[in-house]
Chain A
């Protein structure tokens, strides 16, 4: 068994990602994610102290659009895709907890 990720950490990330796991899945993902993270140990060993991170392969900067209004979507078309809509809005079940 890998020690790159624990079962508790798998449960934690599943929570963060809004996924429910069965006990079996917890076990399976712990071992699978562990194997993948173990493989990544080859790069953990590299000395990258003097290497800058690359977030993006492009060197573009300052890409803008002009502040010009464009036509919005038709509301009926938008709401026709909603699982539940009411009064021109998307309906969701009760929310527990304020926005952070």
Chain B
């Protein structure tokens, strides 16, 4: 999930005369050892139906008992989202579906553990209201066999794996406060960073640890009333989220402008075709017949417990960003701020500050972290503030060119080796400044006319000379050092 937060919004996002209204429901799998109501492992990627027991299979006679750590993580989320953490109860949500072993889901309905909070967007400082963040159990996983690409339509039969059934989730429901696909992306990025920072989630969208449903409606600019909304499911990445909202808003506007009405429905995002399609629902409307779960007793976290949990929450993203910002003497520019947001949302800020403590240049360390490290985040464990800091020092000190430094960092992430070793094995031994000066001299001698023009102030010719030096040095010279030598020779 590496996407720069500064990429341009999709074209369909702004529709003249219309405003998009988005509210998000984010399901977050909690990072516990075991499931919500039983001792089965909360593990991803196991053989099907090997992490199951009488409780999570809903066998007759079995009973749920709440995992205390899941409650603690839920409270951490609530506190991190500025919610009121209060007494709550569980309800049963009744409907038949083969991925639900009991044919009801245990969830919080009337009283959620966390209510009425907010999330502040990092750039605009806009506060998005959080209506609730409640605890519920996940469902099993259904694989459709014989259909079109594993889709439900046209399948001959389906296979069910209950390893995921009963995994603890917190569902975070925002108010319809978001006004563009870009804002929705910013919200999810920040929420994800908060969930990771609080230790509640690993934030892995691609593994389904975070799943987003978007409620989208449109209204004419200036209108105070909300339009009819559609709920979009299956948004597995930030890219899908942005595209789906853009598509859906456009679809709704076209409907209304052509004199039709938007029908409230649940829609499915088709990533390949880039469209949303209405989900096929059964004939009868759902009637979930919620009622208090009689097998569980109320959750009533004491004030002391809540305080204790609060003291265990890690540093929040906004504080983490402040920590990075404070490394710079002047307020960081837009692109640097974007890098800070990215670094924090991916949990790379400790790497950057650690490298800086090891003597690395802050701006360079941040840039390399937010770009190169971010694009290979899965191998983050292969580097540490020490090796990363050393690399940044080598680059800043001219021992490696920018191109070389990126290559070395890439190899470090792959292999886990230190920057010295990697640089040597790649043949990137540092070029002494005197050697570079020699190359510069040769190039000036070979191109006297160009040098005359450069010396007269035609600065764009610097590129020409740097290119020539690079040729001679076989790419080993640092462009910045070459430029500096050229400038010093001109004066």
A and B assemble together: yes
* Chain A interfacial positions (CB closer than 8 Å to B): 12, 15-16, 18, 55-56, 58, 60-73, 75, 78-79, 86-100
Contact between A87 and B160 (Cβ–Cβ < 8 Å)? no
Q: What string of 1s and 0s marks CB contacts (under 8 Å) between B47-72 and chain A?
A: 11111111001000000011111110
Min CB–CB distance B165 → chain A (angstroms) = 11
Contact between A67 and B34 (Cβ–Cβ < 8 Å)? yes
Contact between B143 and A89 (Cβ–Cβ < 8 Å)? yes
Q: What string of 1s and 0s marks CB contacts (under 8 Å) between B317-341 and chain A?
A: 0000000000000000000000000
Asked if B415 is an interface residue, CB under 8 A from chain A, the answer is no
Contact of A87 (CB < 8 Å), options: B41, B159, B280: B159
Contact of A55 (CB < 8 Å), options: B50, B97, B142, B294: B294
Contact between B48 and A88 (Cβ–Cβ < 8 Å)? yes
Q: Inside 8 A of B233's CB, which chain A residues have their CB? A: 98
Top 3 closest pairs, chain A to chain B, by CB: A70-B39, A67-B69, A64-B68
Q: Inside 8 A of A71's CB, which chain B residues have their CB? A: 39
Known contacts A69-B41, A73-B52, A99-B97; is A62 also within 8 Å of B157 by CB?
Answer: no
The stretch from B126-134, B195-203, B244-252, B296-304 touching chain A is B296-304
Asked if B38 is an interface residue, CB under 8 A from chain A, the answer is yes
Contact between A64 and B53 (Cβ–Cβ < 8 Å)? no
Asked if B271 is an interface residue, CB under 8 A from chain A, the answer is no
Asked if B417 is an interface residue, CB under 8 A from chain A, the answer is no
Which chain B residues numbered 214 to 228 have a C-beta less than 8 Å away from chain A? none
Contact between A91 and B280 (Cβ–Cβ < 8 Å)? no
Contact between B159 and A64 (Cβ–Cβ < 8 Å)? no
Report how many residues on chain B are interfacial, defined by Cβ distance under 8 Å: 63
Q: Inside 8 A of B152's CB, which chain A residues have their CB? A: 95, 98
Asked if B125 is an interface residue, CB under 8 A from chain A, the answer is no
A-B contact count (CB 8 A): 145
Contact of A64 (CB < 8 Å), options: B67, B142, B162: B67
Q: Inside 8 A of A64's CB, which chain B residues have their CB? A: 65-68, 71
Contact between B50 and A72 (Cβ–Cβ < 8 Å)? yes
Interchain CA distance A61-B95 in the complex, whole Å: 27
Known contacts A65-B39, A70-B53, A95-B98; is A58 also within 8 Å of B297 by CB?
Answer: yes
Contact between A62 and B301 (Cβ–Cβ < 8 Å)? yes
Known contacts A61-B299, A65-B39, A91-B158; is A72 also within 8 Å of B51 by CB?
Answer: yes
Contact of B48 (CB < 8 Å), options: A67, A73, A87: A87
Interchain CA distance A48-B363 in the complex, whole Å: 68
Contact between B34 and A98 (Cβ–Cβ < 8 Å)? no
The majority secondary structure among interface residues of chain B is loop
Interchain CA distance A26-B38 in the complex, whole Å: 40
Contact between B298 and A90 (Cβ–Cβ < 8 Å)? no
Q: Inside 8 A of B162's CB, which chain A residues have their CB? A: 90
Interchain CA distance A38-B156 in the complex, whole Å: 46
Contact between A72 and B299 (Cβ–Cβ < 8 Å)? no
Q: Inside 8 A of A86's CB, which chain B residues have their CB? A: 159
Q: Inside 8 A of A92's CB, which chain B residues have their CB? A: 98, 142, 157-160
Interchain CA distance A73-B99 in the complex, whole Å: 18
Contact of B281 (CB < 8 Å), options: A56, A70, A95, A97: A97
Interchain CA distance A98-B162 in the complex, whole Å: 17
Interchain CA distance A98-B234 in the complex, whole Å: 11
Interchain CA distance A68-B159 in the complex, whole Å: 29
Contact between A68 and B297 (Cβ–Cβ < 8 Å)? no
Q: Inside 8 A of A58's CB, which chain B residues have their CB? A: 297
Interchain CA distance A66-B57 in the complex, whole Å: 20
Known contacts A56-B297, A67-B34, A75-B50; is A18 also within 8 Å of B157 by CB?
Answer: no
Q: Inside 8 A of A87's CB, which chain B residues have their CB? A: 48, 159
Contact of B297 (CB < 8 Å), options: A12, A62, A67, A69: A62
Q: Inside 8 A of A56's CB, which chain B residues have their CB? A: 292, 294, 297
Known contacts A18-B96, A90-B160; is A63 also within 8 Å of B279 by CB?
Answer: no
Contact of B97 (CB < 8 Å), options: A15, A16, A100: A100
Contact between B97 and A75 (Cβ–Cβ < 8 Å)? no
Contact of A97 (CB < 8 Å), options: B32, B49, B280: B280
Q: Inside 8 A of B294's CB, which chain A residues have their CB? A: 55-56
Known contacts A16-B289, A75-B49, A78-B57; is A69 also within 8 Å of B33 by CB?
Answer: yes
Asked if B256 is an interface residue, CB under 8 A from chain A, the answer is no
Contact between B47 and A88 (Cβ–Cβ < 8 Å)? yes
